[in-house]
Amino acid sequence: MATTIATLTEKTDGTLEGVFATIRVNAPIALIPNANKASEEAPDYRIIHRKTGFEIGAGWNRVSRQTGEEYISTKLEAPEIGVIFGNVAPAPGGEPGRKVILWNSPA
């Protein structure tokens, strides 16, 4: 079962904005395209806390080996949550421009 940890709206400039929410955290976030990638390994997105401007994670464009579809793999990190990995996926209901981050359970 996939657990939704963020809801996002895609903006015309490629930025995704929304809320990262768990039992302990409720934070406004933005995934901002990284226009200044220094290498192939550098993140394709920077994830920032929209109120503080602090960088709390990153995202990389990936292609599914099973389906060939593109997606964004994310890593969020903060003292109160540790490290959380997830993937950006279309939101339930198929509404264009709506996305979610689904938590990748380490188990």
CA distances from 76 to 31, 65, 68 (A): 11, 23, 25
Supply the pLDDT for residue 1. 65
The string of DSSP letters for 11-26 reads: -TTS-EEEEEE-SS-E
User: Model-level pTM?
Assistant: 0.91
Q: What is the pLDDT of residues 22-67, one digit of tens each?
A: 888 899 999 999 998 999 999 999 999 999 999 999 999 999 999 9
Across-strand partners of 88?
72, 101
| CA–CA gap between residue 64 and residue 44 (Å, rounded) | 16
User: What value does the mean pLDDT of the chain take?
Assistant: 93
The alpha carbon of residue 82 and the mean position of all alpha carbons in its chain are separated, in whole angstroms, by 16
| CA–CA gap between residue 58 and residue 65 (Å, rounded) | 21
